[in-house]
Amino acid sequence: MNINLTIIGQIIAFFFFVVFCMKYVWPPITAALEERKQKIAEGLDAADRAERDLRAAQEKAEADLQEGKEQSAAIIEQANKRASQIIDEAKEAANAEALRIKVAADAEIEQEVNRAKEDLRAQVAVLAIAGAEKILEATVDQAAHAKLVDKLAAEL
Amino acid sequence: MATELMTSKSYISHHLTNLTFGNLPEGMTRYDGSTVADGGIWTFAHSSATVNEAAAMGFWAINVDTMFWSIGLGVLFLWLFRKVAVSATAGVPGNLQNFVESIIEFVEENVNSIFHHKNAIIAPLALTIFVWVFLMNLMDLVPVDWIPYIAQQMGIPYMKVVPSTDINATMGMALAVFALIIYYSIKMKGVGGFMAELSLQPLGKWLLPFNLFLEIVGLIAKPVSLALRLFGNMYAGEMVFILIALLPFWAQWVLSVPWAIFHILIITLQAFIFMVLTIVYLAMAHEEH
């Protein structure tokens, strides 16, 4: 336990160790630590941002969905309205057509009846003349009496 | 009983003797009774109950074991940390990097809480002190007989494996710290400022000699207390291990195990204290009073 040259040796060794540590050990490791700290901070930031983005996206999706729902409801309603409108229109058209057909049929029927009446009238005139001929047993001057007979037939 | 006492004594003193290499003066009677020839002799010091060759070598001798173990441990520390520094990544750290980083962060935290100036040397200095002193102290936990026994088998007469039980090692570090204290005191305050700090307080300029005496004692107490605290703790701890080793082998573990466990606390604490006090002293050197 004597003080000797060892003390100088220790000082020199200590000096070299400290210098080495200061130049080659401390800076790289603390730099790595600092860089990691930064990275973690950035990562946390990014996570925060992502969470915010996600929330915004969720809100937007929800809004979009709501809008879509509303739109589709509107479309369905419109379609329903349109459908009933079409049905109404079709009904009306059908009614109108039916009416038209009925009117046409009525007109035709009347026409037919008139024609039949005309035919009947003509035949009645012939029959009446034939009947009269029979009754009179004589030939009637057709030309003389035709005017009379036609007048009779027109009165029928 | 007398011989047993004798062997116990020589066992203890053997374990507390450094392997010293130096020049023995001519005409001196050596441990084995021979006389040193003219011109002296460069050799390893051997000591006996009556002859202390290491002391006779004076200042120009070197404790080879202290130098070997302290430099070896310092290189081990720097090699390990350099390995991590080279491959240090900001990504996911490996086990070793994690371990080294936790030590560095611990040191950095301590430095930042005590030292508030800008100085690139303080943190690496603190780290070097902490880890180096810790490793030197850690040698205390190697069972006291292992390495000296192996050394003796190899023909090396003495081997003290705990460098911090050598006053040269602790005083060397303390003096280096002391030099830094003086350097930064003068650098930050100028020679005049430093002198004023030493002479004009605490009692004002009319009591200048008294102030000077007080402050110089306080200044010198710093390295001395640093060196002696570490040395004293480790020397005492080593001594206890050696005394325990004198017990019968079947009884040793009863004391050595608890003492070793307790000593884990002491070696860490002493390394920590040396580091913190160095930071404190250097912080004081940077501050104006």
pLDDT in tens, A11-44: 999 999 999 999 999 999 999 999 999 999 999 9
Picking from A133-142, A144-153, B109-118, which range would have the lowest pLDDT averaged per residue? A133-142
Is B112 designated active site?
A: no
Strand arrangement of the beta sheet that strand B61-63 belongs to: B41-44, B20-24, B61-63
SS3 B13: helix
> Could you tell me which residues come within 8 angstroms of residue A31 by beta carbon, excluding any fewer than 6 positions away?
B88
| A11 vs A34: CA distance, rounded Å | 32
Average of per-residue pLDDT values in chain A: 89
| B201 vs B212: CA distance, rounded Å | 8
**How far from chain centre, in Å, is Cα A1?**
104
Contact B58 A4 (CB under 8 A): yes
| Confidence (pLDDT) at B2 | 45
SS3 B43: strand
Contact A28 B85 (CB under 8 A): yes
What would the pLDDT profile of B58-107 be if each residue is shown by its tens digit? 888 999 999 999 999 999 999 999 999 998 888 888 899 999 999 999 99
Residue of A nearest to B97 (CA): A29
Tokens of B93: 């750290």
Q: What is the pTM of this model?
A: 0.77
Chain B residues touching A29 at Cβ < 8 A:
81, 84-85, 88, 100-101, 104
| Winning range, highest mean pLDDT, from A55-59, A112-116, B153-157 | A55-59
Contact B127 A7 (CB under 8 A): no
Is B52 designated active site?
A: no
User: pLDDT band at B3, cuts 50/70/90?
Assistant: low
Contact A13 B63 (CB under 8 A): no
Q: Is a pLDDT exceeding 90 seen at residue A91?
A: yes
The mean per-residue pLDDT over the stretch B148-175 comes to 91
| B226 vs B278: CA distance, rounded Å | 8
- Given the structure tokens 């046409």, which residue do they identify? A104
Cα–Cα separations (whole angstroms), residue B279 to B64, B113, B142, B164, B225: 30, 10, 30, 20, 14
Nearest to B102, CA basis, from B75, B84, B78, B120? B84
Q: How many beta-carbon pairs below 8 A join chains A and B?
A: 135
For chain A, say whether B78 makes contact (Cβ under 8 Å): yes
For chain B, say whether A10 makes contact (Cβ under 8 Å): yes
User: pLDDT band at B289, cuts 50/70/90?
Assistant: low
Contact B216, B198 (CB under 8 A): yes
For chain B, say whether A33 makes contact (Cβ under 8 Å): yes
Picking from A75-79, A151-155, B8-12, B42-46, which range would have the lowest pLDDT averaged per residue? A151-155
Is B233 designated active site?
A: yes
Q: What angle do CA B114, B192, A8 make, to 5 degrees?
A: 65
ipTM: 0.90
For chain A, say whether B256 makes contact (Cβ under 8 Å): no
Q: Is a pLDDT exceeding 90 seen at residue B27?
A: no
Q: In chain A, what's the furthest Cα-to-Cα distance?
A: 193
